[in-house]
Amino acid sequence: MTNFPNDFIWGSATSSYQIEGAHDKDGKGPSIWDKFCKTPGNVLNNDNGNIAIDHYHRFKEDIALLKKQGFTAYRFSISWARILPNGKGQVNEKGIEFYNKLIDELLANDIQPWVTLYHWDLPQALYESKEDWLNPVISDHFEEYATICFDRFGDRVKHWITLNEPWVAAILGYGQGVFAPGHISNSEPYLAAHHMLIAHAKAVNIYKSYFKSQHGTIGITNNCDWREPIDQQPKNIEAAERALLFFLGWFADPIWLGDYPQVMKDRLGDRLPVFTKSEKVLLKDSSDFFGLNHYTTMYAAEQDEDAEEVSAYGNGGLSEDQDVQLSQDPKWPLTDFNWAVVPWGCTKMLQWIADRYDNPNIIITENGCAYHDEVQNGEVHDERRVEFYKSYIEACDDAIQNGVSLKGYFAWSMFDNFEWASGYSQRFGINYIDYDTLERIPKDSAKWFTKIIKKHQEKAITI
């Protein structure tokens, strides 16, 4: 904890579909996740976000908890279909009203809102009219939606994130079919991602051209797990680098370096769309900060012809396109989601970003872990989660010491919530949710954060 700058941002994060509930309340339209959950077998136990943790009705209580626990920043996402039930056209004033109240309540408690415009809950209407991420027109619809948000909320919101993890939306939603809208394809992910990047760039362009007077910042959040070469053979070092380029370079290169990584162009041929000159210009430098969601690490090796794929799910991009074999070290401890706990992978990930993209300001917009918690006498002693956070925050400290410009850290998540295809079976919260009563019970990890934030603030004052 010695290297964090005084103005370091300590926050926690959530997303709309995972916590809000009120899925059809006050004029909200359905999203592709509302729809996806209706097909039996898509989500574990056929869970859905209809009620989730009922944040829609309990946001005041939730903000009080943020305040009490010492957070000075809170990352949440806006549900597109609450603002525009059909994805475009008529604005739903009740939806605007909800986010107005949420934002005002945060500011009244001195908590800075960090607002994500898209955390995967595309309005179902756009999907049905085939105006989803596969159609180039989607970038115009996203631009329109973003403009409404800047216009209505930008007087108070100064930190915007256009898209959350386009990699997940593209690969899991359009490649492997395990997330909404459930497509299986080896070309659609590249097309969907292409349109996501353009949508991001158009929204940023509008913000920079028409909302300058709001003096806010805007960026994108990408996710990347670290890929460590399994040994020092050149072919495996190359495989790990290739895996990172297919994972993070795919989205970050067009924004920080001007185009897709060469290795993707070489390997994907016609399946990788091409940016026009003007799109490249729009994309270049279109993020004020480098938003990173980081969870775990895997070894990477060059694909061995006879070996079976270890984890298609964890592979950054379609595996056959990369010839990368991923594996875990049996010595690494696992979370209950079977993601390996490898803090030094976080340090290396941050360093890789600093090296490749000329030391941008990085914000970790998500980092966290899932463990099965138990309530004992009204308390949740989640020692493993506390250990996880301790070790990853130390890993961040190391990166800062090495010169990486890490400016903020958001814990995922403020609450247990709807964990997508895993439903309510995985708990990522620092606050426990009793799903029978919807009671919020602070876990030891939340108390640990309170201490860390306090310590840091005291240090900042004495300097």
Q: Report, as residue numbers or ranges, the catalytic residues.
A: 165, 366
Q: Which is nearer to ligand GBH, 131 or 419 (CB)?
A: 419
* Binding flag, residue 339, ligand GBH (CB under 6 A): yes
- Residue 274 CB contacts under 8 Å (≥ 6 apart), including other chains: none
Copy the structure tokens of residue 5. Answer: 């700058």
What's 79's DSSP letter?
Answer: -
* Binding flag, residue 168, ligand GBH (CB under 6 A): yes
Please name the amino acid found at residue 260.
Y
From 366, 382, 398, 416, residue interacting with ligand GBH (rule: CB under 6 A): 366
Q: Whole-angstrom Cα distance, residue 33 to residue 181?
A: 7
H-run or E-run covering 227:
strand 226-229
From 16, 69, 112, 164, residue interacting with ligand GBH (rule: CB under 6 A): 164
User: Which of the stretches 90-98, 269-277, 290-298, 343-351 binds ligand GBH when contact is defined by CB under 6 A?
Assistant: 290-298
* Binding flag, residue 279, ligand GBH (CB under 6 A): no
**String of DSSP letters for 247-264:** IIIHHHIIIIISS--HHH
Cβ contact 452:34 at 8 Å = no
For the chain, give the number of residues.
Answer: 463
* Binding flag, residue 428, ligand GBH (CB under 6 A): yes
From 114, 260, 295, 432, residue interacting with ligand GBH (rule: CB under 6 A): 295
Q: Which is nearer to ligand GBH, 241 or 419 (CB)?
A: 419
Contacts 24+ apart (CB under 8 A), 104-109: 104/156, 105/59, 105/60, 105/63, 106/63, 106/66, 106/74, 107/156, 109/63, 109/64, 109/66, 109/67
Question: For ligand GBH, what does the binding mask look like between residues 178 and 217, x meaning CB under 6 A?
Answer: ----------------------------------------
From 296, 325, 431, 445, residue interacting with ligand GBH (rule: CB under 6 A): 296
Nearest distance in Å: CB 223, ligand GBH: 5
Cβ contact 162:203 at 8 Å = yes
* Binding flag, residue 314, ligand GBH (CB under 6 A): yes
* Binding flag, residue 20, ligand GBH (CB under 6 A): no
Beta bridge mates, 9: 408
Q: Which residue is nearest to ligand GBH (CB)?
A: 314
Q: Whole-angstrom Cα distance, residue 120 to residue 397?
A: 31
From 8, 9, 15, 62, residue interacting with ligand GBH (rule: CB under 6 A): 15
User: Which of the stretches 67-75, 135-143, 164-172, 189-197 binds ligand GBH when contact is defined by CB under 6 A?
Assistant: 164-172
Q: What are phi and psi of 297, to 5 degrees?
A: -140, 145
* Binding flag, residue 146, ligand GBH (CB under 6 A): no
Q: Whole-angstrom Cα distance, residue 198 to residue 458?
A: 43
From 293, 322, 347, 445, residue interacting with ligand GBH (rule: CB under 6 A): 293
* Binding flag, residue 47, ligand GBH (CB under 6 A): no
Nearest distance in Å: CB 136, ligand GBH: 25
* Binding flag, residue 83, ligand GBH (CB under 6 A): no
* Binding flag, residue 79, ligand GBH (CB under 6 A): no
Q: Which of 394, 372, 393 is nearest to 383 (CA)?
A: 372
From 313, 355, 401, 439, residue interacting with ligand GBH (rule: CB under 6 A): 313
Cβ contact 241:294 at 8 Å = no
Q: Which of 124, 38, 40 is nearest to 88 (CA)?
A: 124
Report the site for ligand GBH in 215-274 (rule: CB under 6 A).
223, 225
Q: Which residue has the tokens 């041929």?
A: 269
Q: Whole-angstrom Cα distance, residue 373 to residue 383?
A: 10
**String of DSSP letters for 381-411:** --HHHHHHHHHHHHHHHHHHHTT--EEEEEE
From 262, 311, 401, 402, residue interacting with ligand GBH (rule: CB under 6 A): 311
Cβ contact 39:329 at 8 Å = no
Q: Which is nearer to ligand GBH, 211 or 424 (CB)?
A: 424
Q: Give the footprint of ligand GBH on this chain (CB under 6 A).
A: 15, 18, 164-165, 168, 223, 225, 293, 295-296, 298, 311, 313-314, 339, 366, 412, 419, 428
